[in-house]
Structure 1
Amino acid sequence: MPTQHSTEKEASQEQGIVVPLELEGLRILKQEVQADGRIRVEVMGTNERAACPHCGAVCVKEHDVRQRIKRDVPLRGHRVELVLHKRRFWCIHCHKAFTESDSACGRRKRTTLRLREEIGQQACSRPLMHVASHYQVGPRFVQACLETVASTQLAKRGLSLEESGPLPTPRFLGIDEFARRKGHRYDTLLCDLEARQVLEVSAGRKKDEVASVLERLSNCDGVEAVSMDMSTTFREAVQLCLPRARIVADHFHVIQHVNKAVNKVIGRWAKKEEGKHALEGQRHLFLRNQEDLSAEDEQSRATLAAAFPEIGTAWQLKEALRTWYAEASAETAAAGLDRWIAAVKGQGPKELRQALSAFRNWRQEILAFFDFLPTRLSNGFVEGKNNRTKALMRQGFGYSNRRHLRLRILLEVA
C-alpha cells in the first residue's frame, strides 16, 4: 500500500506498517483510514504526458482532473478504495480533449484488475455466493470474474468456455459418467489420462450425446486407447467416432463386477438360518482385498470360509482374478483368463457363473488392458474426478447452472 502517510499517527511505526501499492503507473497522493474501517487511498498516474488517441501526438497539457472511486483488493480484512485522480489532456494539434488510460483497472471498470483476478481465482474452488458475500459484491459480478479467469486458463490447455470448439487429442482417453441428479440427469466426463486433465464435460450419456463430443477431437486417429467401464453406450460411441482406438475395460470395474457377485453369494447365505447371525457384519472380510485384511480379520475370514465353503470358493475366485491382473502379460493373459473362466464354470457359485456373461461380451476389451503394460491403463483418474465433482456439488448445494458446474470441473487441479 502507500509509501507515505497523511498524519503523524499513521506515520508512526507503532501504529501501522508500510505496504507497497504495487500498481504500476500510479503514485500515492494521500491515504487515510475511514471511521468505518475503509482504507481510502488517493492516487494519480505517474506519466506526465500521453499520446493523443485521435492523431497520435504526444501531449503534456492538462485539460482537467476528475476523481473516480475504484475498489482494490482488501488489506487485512479492510476494504480498500482507490480515489483515482484521472487527468484529461488537451491535444494542441487536433484540438481535442482525451482521458489518460487506466492500466490498473481498465476502461470503464470500477474495480482493479487484480481484485477481479482474485475474485475469479476464489470462485474456482468456492461457491459463488460464498465469494460474493466475502467480497461484498453481487454473484453476477463473481460469475463474470470466474469466466474471465477460466477463459485465460482454459485457453492455455486448448479449451474454451463454450461447448463447441475443437478439443486437443490425447493418446489415452478416459470416459465415465456422473449423476447431476441421480436417476434423472447425467453428464459424461472425458479426461486426458496421460496429462491427467479433464477435457470436457458432455451433457448426457446417450450414444449420440457422447459421439457429438468425441467428434470435436482435433485428430480422432491420434487416440490410441479409450478406458471405460463396461458400458455398451460408451463402446458404441467410441467405435463410431474413434474406429482406430483400442477400447480398454477398466480393470477396477471388472473386479468390482465380480465382487458384486461375491456379495450376492454372501447375501444368499445370510438369509438362511445358519448364516443369519454368523455372517452379520462380516461381509467386508470377503469383499476387501486380501492384503488389506489384518491378521485377526484373515483368521476370521478363514473360519467363516470353512463354515461356508461356497462363500470361501467365491472369495478364492475373486482373489484369483486379482492375481491374474497383477501377474499376467500380453502373451499369457488370454490363457490365464480362460483358466479362470473354466474354474468359475467348474466350481463357482451360480452368482459368479452368471457374471461370466460380461467376460464373454467384453473379452477383447478386458484383454486389451495387457497390451498397454506397463502403463496399466485405467479409469482411476476419471473416478477421482467424479468423486471430486460430487464434493463440489455438495459444497454448492447442487448446481442448477450447468455452465458454472462445467467450468468448476474443468478448472479443478488434478
Structure 2
Amino acid sequence: MNWHLDRLLKLPNMTVVKVQEIEGLIFLSLESLKEGIICPHCGNYTEDVHQTREVLVRDLSICSRGVYLKVPRRQFICSECGRYTTEGLEEMVFKRHHTERYEEYVYGRVVATTVKQVSREEQLKEDEIQAIFDAVSEEKNQKNWQPVKHIGLDEISTAKGQKNTEQW
C-alpha cells in the first residue's frame, strides 16, 4: 500500500500495490480494499469471488507520462440466490476503459482544440477521442424536462394580417 499514491489517485476503496514504468508509460496495479459486496438481486452480503479479471484503464497523465491503472474486476457469486454480480467501481464508467476524470479532461481539450490534435497529444485514435467527446457531451446535455401541463396557441398570425380564419 502506497499512502501517497492512494491520496493522489482519490479512488475510494482502492489501493496501489505496484508501480511500473514501461516505455515511458506508468502502470499502477490496484487492489480493492473491500472484501465483498451486497448482492443487487437479493440484498445478501457476499465475499465469494467467482473470478477476477484485470482491466487496463487510462487515467490522467503524471509528469507528461501516460498513466494506466490495472484494475481488478471481481465477479462475485451470491451464496443465497446463486446469481453472479460484477463489482462496480467508483470513478470508472462500466465497460469504458477510461476514468471519468480522464474523459472530462479529454472533453475539455477537444472543446478548446480539435479531435486530431488531442488524438496526437494523448496518443489515442481519433475515433476513440471522438467517442469520449460524444459520451461526455451526451451526459452534459441531458436535461430534466418536466411534463407539459399547458399548451398555448400562437395567435400572432391573425394579428399580422393573415386572413386565414378557419376553425380547427
Shift of 1:33: 2.1
The partner residue of 1:26 within 3, 11, 14 is 14
1:240-265 deviation digits (Å, cap 9, x = unpaired): 6xx7xxxxxxxxxxxxxxxxxxxxxx
Structure 2 CA distance for partners of 1:157 and 1:99, relative to 1, 3 Å: closer
Shift of 1:147: 2.5
- The answer as to 2:109 corresponding to 1:146 is no
SS class of match (1:53): coil
Q: 1:10-409 maps to which residues of 2 (within 5 A)?
A: 20-34=8-22, 36-155=23-142
Partner of 2:164: none
* Cα distance in 1 between the residues matched to 2:142 and 2:36: 36
Shift of 1:219: 7.9
Shift of 1:104: 2.6
TM-score (norm 2): 0.74
1:98-156 deviation digits (Å, cap 9, x = unpaired): 22112232221111121111111111121110011111112222222222333344446
Higher-helix-fraction structure: 1
SS class of match (2:133): helix
Amino acid of the residue matched to residue 20 of structure 1? L
Structure 2 CA distance for partners of 1:157 and 1:146, relative to 1, 3 Å: farther
Amino acid of the residue matched to residue 25 of structure 1? N
* Cα distance in 1 between the residues matched to 2:153 and 2:28: 56
Amino acid of the residue matched to residue 10 of structure 2? E
Structure 2 CA distance for partners of 1:80 and 1:127, relative to 1, 3 Å: same
Higher-strand-fraction structure: 2
Residue correspondences, number: 151
Shift of 1:61: 2.3
* Cα distance in 2 between the residues matched to 1:132 and 1:66: 28
Shift of 1:42: 0.7
Partner of 1:3: 3
Amino acid of the residue matched to residue 3 of structure 2? T
Q: Which structure exhibits the higher relative contact order, with contacts defined as CA atoms closer than 8 Å and separated by 6 or more residues? A: 2
Higher Cα radius of gyration: 1
Shift of 1:220: 9.3
SS class of match (1:107): coil
> Percent same amino acid at aligned positions?
22
SS class of match (1:105): coil
